[in-house]
Structure 1
């Protein structure tokens, strides 16, 4: 049995669609109580654990960093420690936000983490705690998660297009939109390999080709048949409480070499999302 922390989030929803898993929502496992999360693992005694739950309110984390660090740092650490004690694999989703976004080269798993914001710091705390737990683990850093459910850029753009015929979108942040369905499939494939003895490690998985938010929006509108004029603006003209990295490119070479999993083409994933939302042109 695969135990999943998370039930209604983008990736957790896809995990339940794609496999028979035991998914724990907040009522069954509150990540603000790390000890309860560890107890849930001991109680279920699964063959592996996937943590698909997190504090993801990036801007709110600037004023709520303590809670974000418990949920994104202490809880995954407690989960990893429990898994290490039971000698079962632990898989965890992390983020491009652990990097400072400098330069234009894609980030590798070996690059030094330098988070720019509270959310990134909280996620980095989880990574370091998991690695220190000493068990078999896989940390999958991903970026710009999108799906037909939850809150994400695709759904925001579609909602705005209902009432707006022109938008200004940031065009100096570059990354890879990553369909939640592909992340779930990747985690399940990694979980099976780790249950069979794969050692795991830290890996990157982001959509290809790399694109700016503005060009991603243009593709969304083109494929949904929405007539919206777009103007590109720099990040400084769209200030947010949390600073976003400009370079979110992730190098997926290590994942491909270790598990044979290539970066997903987000354009195909976008068509699937728009089709599910019944807006594909």
Structure 2
């Protein structure tokens, strides 16, 4: 089309004026060849520019889409993962080996791991010297025991799993499995056993001020980050490497992404 020809070339005469010296065929053909070359180059460059504009940014997006597997693109729906293996807000714990358990009461019905048992008995004696009578209520608990506490009581009370998990850990997910956790009451005020009212007793006040000296800590204080119900009676031993790793590795999993248990 004429309109595709540059303005300067369109004004060029198409016929040679009379009297103009005759030149060779090669000379007179040069403007026409140049015009054809210019038109071809213009069309080619225009097409290349259009292609690049249409496909701008396509390369990186394609690389990104092909590097993601279908599994990576599918969001998790069960709230659990290898990094966060909790169940209803509770972390899994292994049972303490029977050979490592020691009794802390005369009838042998309440036991803790050896290190925790020794520390608890020292703590109990120190409290008694101060006129406070600590009463151990529960120590090591097997997975089988926890089966009853979770499923049987849940059925008796007509609770759904999430409701039962608010007061008792699922089997395999209780701190009591470790042999490091203990429920403590006040022998002088047994009515407060396993109740938030335990915080009003002399035993709780003494524990709050002295338990750390014996390497015990409150597992689930008020307003804890795991949103676990406040349990002033539930304490755990963290006085050696194994006990510390048992509980604090679970806590790190929660803090990194995501719950500690509550029982």
Please tell me the TM-score bracket, short chain as reference: under 0.3
Structure number with larger C-alpha Rg: 2
* TM-score normalised by length of structure 1: 0.23
If the length of structure 2 is used for normalisation, what is the TM-score?
Answer: 0.24
- Structure 1 or 2: more helix by fraction: 2
